[in-house]
Structure 1
Amino acid sequence: MKAILFTTAGEPEVLQLAEVPQPTIQTPTDLLIRLKAAGINPIDTKLRRRGTFYPEKMPAILGCDGAGIVEAVGSDVKHFQVGDPVYFCHGGLGGHPGTYAEFAIVDERWVAPKPTSLSFEAAAASPLVLITAWEALYERGRLEAGRKVLVHAGAGGVGHIAIQLAALKGASICTTVGSAAKADFVRQLGADQAILYKQTDFVQATLDWTDGEGVELAFDTVGGATFAQTFPAVQIYGDLVTILEPDPTTKWKIARDRNLRISLELMLTPMLRGLTDLQRHQAQILAECARLFDEGKLQVHVSQSFPLAEAAAAHRLLEQGSIAGKVVLTI
C-alpha cells in the first residue's frame, strides 16, 4: 500500500510517499480499515519536527485521525462488519502506524460509526478535536448550563468545536479570534462575543463582558504567554483548562490569589498509556458526537484538503498558523 513515511525528524520534506506492506489483522477484535481520509493535527507536525514517542520504531507513519470503510474483521468483532463506514483516533505516535496511509488496523473498541451526514474528509478531521474539546469542557471544566466560558482561538481546530459543545450545554461563550472574518465565523457557531485579540486586550474585554467578575471557565488552546495572561480573566474559584504544557517560568500568584482550579487536557494519554477503558470511553464520545452531527447540532469546518502525496504541503500550511478549522489528507 501507499503511505507517507518519515525516517528522521525535520522539515516537512522528510515526509515521503512510499510503498509499504499492507497491514493484516493481528488480534480477534481488529478491523482492517481502507482509509478514505486522514486528519492533520498539530501533534503530527510536532512529532515530525522532534521525532515520535518511540524513536526505536522508525520509520514511522504519522496521523491519529482517520475515516474509512471496514475491509475485513477479526473473528471476535461484534459491532462492525465489512463495508461499514467508520471514524477513529488511534495510532500515529510512533508505536502504531498512523493514518497517512491507504489502510490501517484498529481495534473495534477504539472505533465509532462515521456520521452519515459527514463526508469522509469531514469525519477524518473530527476525532482528536472532538475528544479534546469534550474532555476539556465537560470532564475537566465540569461545564454546566448558564455558565460563562472563554475559548481561546475559537476559529481553530479545537476551538471551533469547543464553541459548539459549550453552546449545546447552554453556556454563554466569548472567544478570541485574529480577524473580522473569523469573528463572523465563530458567531455563526454560537459564540456570543468575539474578541479581536490583536486589537483589544482580551482580559479587559472578558471582564467587561462579565461585569468585572471573569468567566467561570476558560479554555486555553494557545499556550505560551496566553495561559498566564488568562488568569485575571477567570472568576475567583473558577476553572482554567489548557491543552498545552505551562511554561516553567509561569508566575502563578494571580491564579493562586483567585483560587483557580487548573486542569491539563491531553486526549492522547489513554493511547500512550494503554488505558483501554478510557480508549473505549473516547470512542463513545465519538459515537455521541456522530449523533450530534447527524441531528444538525454540530459541524466541523475543513479549511483545505490535500492528496496523500502532498502531506508535506499540508504540514507547511498548518505550521503557518491562522487556519480556520482543519486540514485533511484525502486518500
Structure 2
Amino acid sequence: MKAALMTAPGEPDVLQLGEVLEPTIQQETEVLVRLKAAGVNPIDTKLRRRGTFFPDRLPAILGCDGAGIVEAVGASVRQFQPGDEVYFCNGGLGGHPGNYAEWAIVDARFAAHKPTTMSFAEAAAAPLVLITAWEALFDRARLQAGQRVLIHAGAGGVGHVAIQLAKWRGAEVCTTVSTEAKAVFVRDRGASQVLFYKDTEVAQAVMNWTHGQGVDVAFDTVGGAALGQSFAATKFYGDIVTILDADPATNWKLARTRNQRVSFELMLLPMLQGLMAVQQSQAAILQQCAELIDAGHLKLHVGQTFPLAEAAAAHQAIESGSTTGKLVLVMD
C-alpha cells in the first residue's frame, strides 16, 4: 500500500511517499479499514521534528486521526461489519502505524461510526479535537449551562470545536483571534465576545466582559503567555485547563491566591500508556459527538485538503500558524 513515510526526524521533506505491506488483522478485536482521509494535527509536526515516541522504529507512519470504510473484522467484533463507515483516533505516535496511508488496523473498541452527514475529510479532521475539547470542558472543567468560558484561539482546530460544545452545553463564550476574518468565523460558531489578542489586554477585557468577576472556565489551547492570562481572567475558585506544557516563566501565584483549579488535558495519554478503558471512553465521546453532528449542533471546518503524496506540504501549512480549522490528507 502507499503511505507517507517519516524516514527520519527533521523538516517536512522527511515525509516521503512510499510502498509498505498492507496490514492484516492479528487480533480478534481488530478491524481492517480502507482509509479515505487522515487528519493532520500539530502533534504530527512535533513528532516529525523531534522524533516519535519509538525512535528505533523508522520509517514511521504518522497521523492519529483517520476515517474510512471497514473491509474486514476480527472474530469477536460485533459493533462493526464490512462496509461500515468509521472514524477514530488511533496510532501515529511511532509504535502502532498511523493513518497517513491507504489502510489501517484499528481495535474496534477505539472506533466509532462516522457521522452520516459528514464527508470522510470532515470526519478525519474530527477525532483528536473532539475528544480534546470534550474532555477539557466537560471532564476537567465541569462546564455547566449558564457559565462563562474563555477559549483561547477560537479559530483553531480545538478552539472552533470547543466554542460549539460550550454553546451546546449552554455556556456563554469569549474567545481570542488574530484577524477580522477569524472573528467572523468564531462568531458564526457561537462566540458572543471576540478579542483581538495582538492589540488587546486579554485579561482586562475579560474582566470588563464579566463585570469584574472573571470567567468560570478558561481553556488554553496555545500555551506561552495564555496560561498566565487565564489565571488573571478567571474568577476565584474557577477552572483553567491547558493542553500544553506550562511556560517555565509562568507565575503560579495568582492561581494559588485565587484558589483556582488548574488541569492538564493530554488526550493522547491513554494511547501512550495503554489505558484501554479510557480509550474506550474516548470512542464513546466520538459516538456522542456523531449524534450532535448529525443533529446539526456541531460542525468541523476543514480549511484545506492535500493528497496523501503531499503530506510534507500539509505539515508546512500547519507550521505556518495561519490556518483556520483543520487540515486533512485525502487518499482518493
Q: Same fold (TM over 0.5)?
A: yes
1:97 aligned onto 2:70: no
Q: Which residue of 2 aligns with 1:237?
A: 237
1:282 aligned onto 2:274: no
Q: Deviations over 1:94-132 (max 9, x none)?
A: 010000000000010000000000000000000000000
Q: Which residue of 2 aligns with 1:110?
A: 110
Q: Which residue of 2 aligns with 1:216?
A: 216
Identity %: 65
Structure 1 residue 76 displacement after superposition: 1.1
Determine the C-alpha separation between the residues in 2 that align with 1:226 and 1:6. Answer: 32
Structure 1 residue 248 displacement after superposition: 2.4
Structure 2: gaps (5+ residues)? none
The letter of the residue matching 1:195 is L
Structure 1 residue 134 displacement after superposition: 0.1
Q: Which residue of 2 aligns with 1:28?
A: 28
Q: Which residue of 2 aligns with 1:303?
A: 303
Determine the C-alpha separation between the residues in 1 that align with 2:15 and 2:127. Answer: 23
User: How many residues are paired up?
Assistant: 331
Q: Which residue of 2 aligns with 1:328?
A: 328
Determine the C-alpha separation between the residues in 1 that align with 2:247 and 2:148. Answer: 26
Question: Matches of residues 1-331 of structure 1 in structure 2 within 5 Å?
Answer: 1-331=1-331
Determine the C-alpha separation between the residues in 2 that align with 1:165 and 1:208. Answer: 24
Equivalent pair of 2:149/2:218 in contact (CA under 8 Å)? yes
Structure 1 residue 279 displacement after superposition: 0.4
Determine the C-alpha separation between the residues in 1 that align with 2:193 and 2:87. Answer: 32
Determine the C-alpha separation between the residues in 1 that align with 2:225 and 2:232. Answer: 13
Q: Which runs of 4+ in 1 moved over 2 A?
A: none
Structure 1 residue 7 displacement after superposition: 2.0
**Equivalent residue of 2:56, what SS?**
helix
Equivalent pair of 2:7/2:16 in contact (CA under 8 Å)? no
Equivalent pair of 2:65/2:127 in contact (CA under 8 Å)? yes
Structure 1: gaps (5+ residues)? none
The letter of the residue matching 2:178 is G
Structure 1 residue 56 displacement after superposition: 1.7
The letter of the residue matching 2:22 is Q
Determine the C-alpha separation between the residues in 2 that align with 1:17 and 1:150. Answer: 41
**Equivalent residue of 2:60, what SS?**
coil
Equivalent pair of 2:131/2:282 in contact (CA under 8 Å)? yes
Equivalent pair of 2:176/2:194 in contact (CA under 8 Å)? yes
Q: Deviations over 1:272-325 (max 9, x none)?
A: 111111000000000000000100110000000000000000000000002110
C-alpha RMSD of matched pairs (Å) = 0.6
Determine the C-alpha separation between the residues in 2 that align with 1:257 and 1:91. Answer: 41
> Normalising by the residue count of structure 1, what TM-score does the alignment of the two structures yield?
0.99
Structure 1 residue 230 displacement after superposition: 2.0
